[in-house]
Amino acid sequence: MAIDSDFSNECIDCFVIGTQQDYENNKELFCKKEVNGVTYYVAHGKDPNFPAWRDTIQLNYFNPKTRQRMIDELLKISDLCDGVRCDMVMLSLNDVHESVWGWLNYRNGYKKPEKEFWHEAISRVKEINPQFIFLAEVYWGLEWKMQQMGFDYTYDKVFYDRLKNMGAEEVRGHLRAEKLYQKKSVRFIDNHDEEPSISSFNNKKKALAAAVMVSTVRGLRFYNDMQLKGVNVKIPVQIKEFNIEPYRDIEVEKFYEKILKIVDHPAFHGGEWELCEVVPVNESDRTFRNIIAYRWIQMRTVKIVIINYSSEISSGRVLIPLKAKGENVTLYEEFSERFFSYSETELSNGILIKEMSPYSFFMFDYEF
Nearest to 134 by CA among 147, 144, 143: 147
Kindly tell me if the per-residue pLDDT of 98 is higher than 80.
Answer: yes
- Dist CA 307 CA 297 (whole Å): 18
In the CATH scheme, what is the code of domain 271-367? 2.60.40.1180
The pLDDT, as a whole number, for residue 321 is 87
Average pLDDT, the chain: 96
Instruction: Residue 219: name the closest of 188, 173, 241, 255 by CA.
Output: 188
For residue range 300-340, what is the model confidence (pLDDT) as tens digits? 999 999 999 999 999 999 999 887 777 889 999 999 999 99
Is residue 368 very low, low, confident or very high in pLDDT (cuts 50, 70, 90)?
A: confident
pLDDT at 46: 96
CB 188 within 8 A of CB 214: yes
Please determine, for residue 344, whether its predicted confidence score (pLDDT) is greater than 90.
Answer: no
- pLDDT tier, 8 (very low <50, low <70, confident <90, very high otherwise): very high
> What is the rounded CA–CA span in Å between residue 38 and residue 272?
60
**Structural domain spans, the chain:** 1-59, 66-262, 271-367
Q: How far apart are CA 185 and CA 176, in angstroms?
A: 13
**61 Cβ partners below 8 Å, 6+ apart?**
67, 92, 94, 97, 113, 117
Looking at the predicted structure, is the pLDDT value of residue 153 above 90?
Answer: yes
Give the model confidence (pLDDT) of 174-221 as tens digits. Answer: 999 999 999 999 999 999 999 999 999 999 999 999 999 999 999 999
pLDDT at residue 77 in the model: 97
Fold exhibited by the domain 66-262: TIM Barrel (3.20.20)
Helix (H, G, I), strand (E, B) or coil at 173: helix
**pLDDT for residue 103 is more than 90:** yes
Q: Sort strands 272-279 and 291-298 into parallel, antiparallel or unpaired.
A: antiparallel
DSSP H stretches of helix in 19-87: 20-25, 64-78
